[in-house]
Structures are given as structure tokens and as C-alpha cells.
């Protein structure tokens, strides 16, 4: 039986462990805390699933496939992990990210609709879109219950035979080390046919990678009844670097800036949301949904992005059998079950990963989430 060690039980590592266990691998999953612990990027209460990725059709196809995967996983777990609330893009210009996205989605037969800004009033209890060119509606996109989905995936992985080990792993050092498929758990060395380091924002501590880790504050507001899902869709404003969704499960309406935050250390960094982040979120509500400008903050969370300069991921072999899986760049949750299938195919020797996921020098490029700057 082929053996593999996956380090990191965030959604990427846990999904990969599950996939590999179900396709004939003996899997050890090493996690320094518990799956779903609040420091990991995967432990956000919610994450959006959207298919639009500008001109890029690879990620659009992945996201569309992932929608089915999340629905199936939810059925298997006996709970709704993915809430198909629909998702609205607010397009500030006629020929930007959203119009490119609409073309790609139409080519791929992924349902979407271009709407007039005035149509926003049909979807949101209150909507101000006089600064917008158009709206792009994705009826089959929505909100993933992220932390819960991570815990469920890890539980399903264990049920599929994955051995979960609680320890901090580091690469093995010494003369043979670069050629060893092994991890050091503080004295005990584990060996396998393959090792995958799926360590999220902790990856740069362990390997030389083109990653910047940033602090990201998320803010949820207490809102009145008409703003709860299923009635209210998720939304993204690419040019304003803002996104959110209606109140899901009583954690409030998310309205958050996607602007790249300050450098951050994921293990010891204080998880206190800045007052400026709350004000930025409020500023967006004031502009788009004015009656919510005075809504109190109900819940807030600090998380971190592990960003590559071009926001493309890292799926790269550093020495025979040793793989890095990271650089999710703040848009990886939705794809996890499908990415796991893709990476499992790579580990099985079926194909090489896309060249764009390599460890080459990355050229900064237009973000695959939003513009990512403060406006
Ligand atoms: C604020 C915010 C909003 C986001 N919004 C979206 C969204 O709307 N849609 C979307 O698709 N994506 C979104 N993302 C991105 C998404 O959350 C990430 O892509 C995803 O969670 C990455 O998962 P991961 O498994 O790579 O990393 P993580 O979840 O961080 O997991 C890494 C794990 O590795 C463990 N680990 C690290 N080093 C070691 C070690 N040496 N030994 C043992 N264990 C180790 C850590 O403890 C951790 O549990 C968002 C991210 C943030 C921060």
C-alpha cells in the first residue's frame, strides 16, 4: 500500500487526506493543534463560493465542480455545509473583472445573469447601486460553513482510516535529508512514500517560499430580520475590495474588507480586530446599504492570508516525493475538495501540476479575489 504523510489539517490538508485514504493510500495526517482550531485560515465561520475568476477559466471550472463536491459532502455528513444563497457581483466599470467573468461563465455554461443596478432592490432589502455599471448574478454560488466543514472533513478522514497525529512537524535535517520523504515530530521521525506540507500561513517558517502572510480582520454586524439568509445573497465588490453575505446561523451579516492587511505571524499574533477595519466595513455598508451603517458589530475574527505575488497557488515538488501545497492567497477554501482530487492525481503520477503553481519567481498580477487594495 502506498503511504503518505500530510502535514496540516486545515481544509486543504484534511480534504487531501480524505481523498487519498479513499483512493488506496495509507495516510497519516499531522496537525499541531486540532482540526478547525481558530488560528487556521480554514476556521473562519464562513467562506464564499463563487465561480467568477475574471478571465481565468481554470479556477472557474474548479469552483463549479466544487459546488457539487460540497453538496455531496454535506449529504454524507447529514448536515448542510454549503448554503446556496446566490452571489451578486457589484461591477463598477462596464469592462472590468465582472464582464470578463461573465464571458467565461457563459462559455462554460455556468449559470449567471447580467443585471441592471436597479435590479439589486429585488435581492437586497435595501440597495444603493447608483455608482455601478451592472450586476453579475451567480444563482448557484453561496456560503460555506467553513469551520464546521473543516471539522467534518477531518472526521470523515479519520473514519476513512486516516491516522491523525497531534504534533508539530519539521523537515528532517542531516546529510540525507533533502532526499528523504520524512517528517520530524520532535525526535520521532515518520517516513512515507510521499510527504505533503499543507501548512497554510506556517509554510514560510519551514520552507523558502514566495509567501507573504497578512492579518485579515473580518467583521459581522447585527442586522434586522430581512437581512438573514436564505433571503439575502452573498456579494462581492471587486474594485472596492469588499465582500459579505446575509446573516447565516445568527453570526451576523458579514461585511468585510478584502484589502491586504499588515504582515502577521499566525501562531503568536494577537487576534484582535483593529478599529480601522470596523470603520472600513461600516463605510462600505453606508455606501451600499445605508440603513445598516449604524448596525452594531456582533462578531469579529482575525484570520490570515498566505499570499503569493500573483495569487496563484503553490503545488510544487521540492525533492523527490516531497510536496508543498499552499499559497492559497485567500481564495482556496471553496476549491478544497476538488483541489484534493487534483493533487491526489499528481501524487498518483497521473499528471504534472500546472506550471503556474511552481516555485518560480512570481510576477505580481491582478488579484484572483478582488483588487485587494484599500479604496
Ligand atoms: C479572512 C479570510 C477570508 C477568506 N475568504 C475566503 C472565501 O470567501 N472563499 C474562499 O474560497 N477562501 C477564502 N479564504 C481562504 C481560505 O480560508 C483558505 O484558502 C483555506 O482555509 C486555506 O486552508 P489551508 O488548509 O491551506 O490552511 P489552514 O487552514 O491555515 O491550515 C494549515 C494547518 O497547518 C497546520 N500546521 C502548520 N504548520 C504545521 C506543522 N509544522 N506541523 C503540524 N501542523 C502544522 C496549522 O496548525 C493549520 O491547522 C479566506 C481566508 C481568510 C483569512
173 C-alpha vs ligand 1 centroid, how far in Å? 26
> Domain span at residue 72?
2-357
Looking from the CA of residue 8, the nearest atom of ligand 1 is 34
Contacts 24+ apart (CB under 8 A), 274-277: 274/217, 277/217, 277/219
Task: Tell how far the Cα of 10 is from the centroid of ligand 1, in angstroms.
Answer: 5
Task: Please work out whether the CB of residue 304 comes within 6 Å of at least one atom of ligand 1.
Answer: yes
Q: List pLDDT tens digits, range 153-184.
A: 999 999 999 999 999 999 998 776 766 899 99
In a domain, 368, yes or no: no
Q: In what order do the strands lie in the sheet with 253-257?
A: 113-115, 134-138, 87-91, 234-237, 242-245, 253-257, 212-221, 297-307
The model carries a pTM of 0.98
- Helix (H) or strand (E) segment spanning residue 5: strand 2-7
Total domain count, the chain: 1
Q: Is 50 in the pocket of ligand 1 (CB under 6 A)?
A: no
Query: Is 365 inside a domain boundary?
Result: no
Residue 341 Cα to ligand 1 middle (Å): 18
What number is the average pLDDT over the span 255-275?
97
Residue 214 lies in a domain: yes
The CATH number of whichever domain residue 216 belongs to comes to 3.30.9.10
Residue nearest to atom 6 of ligand 1 (CA): 47
Evaluate whether residue 316 is within a structural domain: yes
> Which residue, by CA, sits nearest to atom 35 of ligand 1?
8
Does residue 95 lie within any of the structural domains?
yes
Give mean pLDDT, residues 177-203: 92
The closest-lying atom of ligand 1 relative to the alpha carbon of residue 301 is 1
Question: Is the separation of the CB atoms in 243 and 258 below 8 Å?
Answer: yes
DSSP codes joined into one string, 227-280: GBTTTS-EEEETTTTEEEESB-TTS-EEEEE-S---B--TTTS-----HHHHHH
**Which 3 state secondary structure label does DSSP give 16?**
helix
Q: Characterize 142-173 residue by residue with b for buried, 16 or more Cβ atoms within 10 angstroms of its Cβ, and e for exposed.
A: bbbbbbbbbbbbbbbbbeeebebbebebebbe
Q: What percent of the chain has pLDDT over 90?
A: 94
373 lies in a domain? Answer: no
Note whether residue 53 is domain-resident. Answer: yes
Of residues 206 and 174, which shows the higher confidence score? 206
- The residue whose CB lies within 8 Å of the most ligand 1 atoms, and thus the one to mutate among 15, 18, 39, 40, is 40
Ligand 1 binding pocket includes 13 (Cβ within 6 Å): yes
3-state secondary structure of 365: coil
Residue 166 domain-assigned (yes or no) = yes
pLDDT over 80 (residue 375) = no
Query: Which tens digit of pLDDT belongs to each residue from 54-112?
Result: 999 999 999 999 999 999 999 999 999 999 999 999 999 999 999 999 999 999 999 99
Amino acid at each position: 500500500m502506498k503511504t503518505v504523510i500530510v502535514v496540516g489539517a486545515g481544509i486543504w490538508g484534511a480534504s487531501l487526506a480524505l481523498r487519498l485514504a479513499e483512493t488506496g493510500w495509507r495516510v497519516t495526517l499531522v496537525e499541531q493543534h486540532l482540526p478547525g482550531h481558530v488560528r487556521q485560515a480554514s476556521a473562519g465561520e464562513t467562506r464564499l463560493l463563487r465561480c467568477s475568476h475574471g478571465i481565468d477559466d481554470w479556477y472557474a471550472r474548479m469552483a463549479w465542480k466544487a459546488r457539487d463536491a460540497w453538496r455531496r459532502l454535506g449529504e454524507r455528513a447529514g448536515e448542510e455545509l454549503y448554503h446556496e444563497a446566490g452571489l451578486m457581483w457589484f461591477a463598477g466599470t462596464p469592462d472590468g473583472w465582472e464582464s470578463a467573468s461573465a464571458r467565461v461563465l457563459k462559455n462554460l455554461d455556468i449559470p449567471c445573469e447580467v443585471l441592471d443596478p436597479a435590479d439589486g432592490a429585488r435581492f437586497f432589502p435595501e440597495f444603493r447601486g447608483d455608482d455601478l455599471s451592472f450586476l453579475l448574478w451567480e444563482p448557484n454560488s453561496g456560503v460555506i460553513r467553513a469551520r464546521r466543514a473543516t471539522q467534518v472533513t477531518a472526521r470523515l478522514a479519520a473514519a476513512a482510516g486516516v491516522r491523525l497525529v497531534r504534533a508539530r512537524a519539521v523537515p528532517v535535517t542531516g546529510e540525507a535529508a533533502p532526499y528523504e520523504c520524512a517528517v520530524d515530530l520532535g525526535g520521532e521521525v515518520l517516513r512515507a512514500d510521499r510527504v505533503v506540507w499543507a501548512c497554510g500561513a506556517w509554510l514560510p517558517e519551514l520552507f523558502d517560499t514566495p509567501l507573504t502572510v497578512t492579518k485579515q480582520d473580518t467583521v459581522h454586524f447585527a442586522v434586522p430580520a430581512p437581512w438573514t439568509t436564505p433571503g439575502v445573497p452573498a456579494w462581492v465588490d471587486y474594485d472596492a475590495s469588499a465582500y459579505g453575505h446575509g446573516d447565516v446561523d445568527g453570526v451576523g451579516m458579514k461585511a468585510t474588507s478584502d484589502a491586504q492587511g499588515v504582515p502577521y505571524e499566525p501562531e503568536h499574533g494577537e487576534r484582535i480586530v483593529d478599529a480601522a477595519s470596523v470603520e472600513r466595513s461600516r463605510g462600505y455598508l453606508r455606501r451600499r446599504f445605508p440603513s445598516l451603517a449604524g448596525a452594531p458589530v456582533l462578531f469579529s475574527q482575525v484570520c490570515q492570508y498566505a499570499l503569493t505575488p500573483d495569487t496563484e497557488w503553490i503545488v510544487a515538488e521540492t525533492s523527490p516525493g516531497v510536496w508543498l501545497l499552499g499559497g492559497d492567497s485567500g481564495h482556496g477554501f471553496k476549491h478544497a475538495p476538488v483541489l484534493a482530487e487534483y493533487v491526489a492525481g499528481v501524487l498518483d503520477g497521473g499528471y504534472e501540476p500546472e506550471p503556474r503553481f511552481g516555485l518560480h519567481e512570481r510576477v505580481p498580477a491582478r488579484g484572483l479575489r478582488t483588487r485587494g487594495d484599500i479604496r
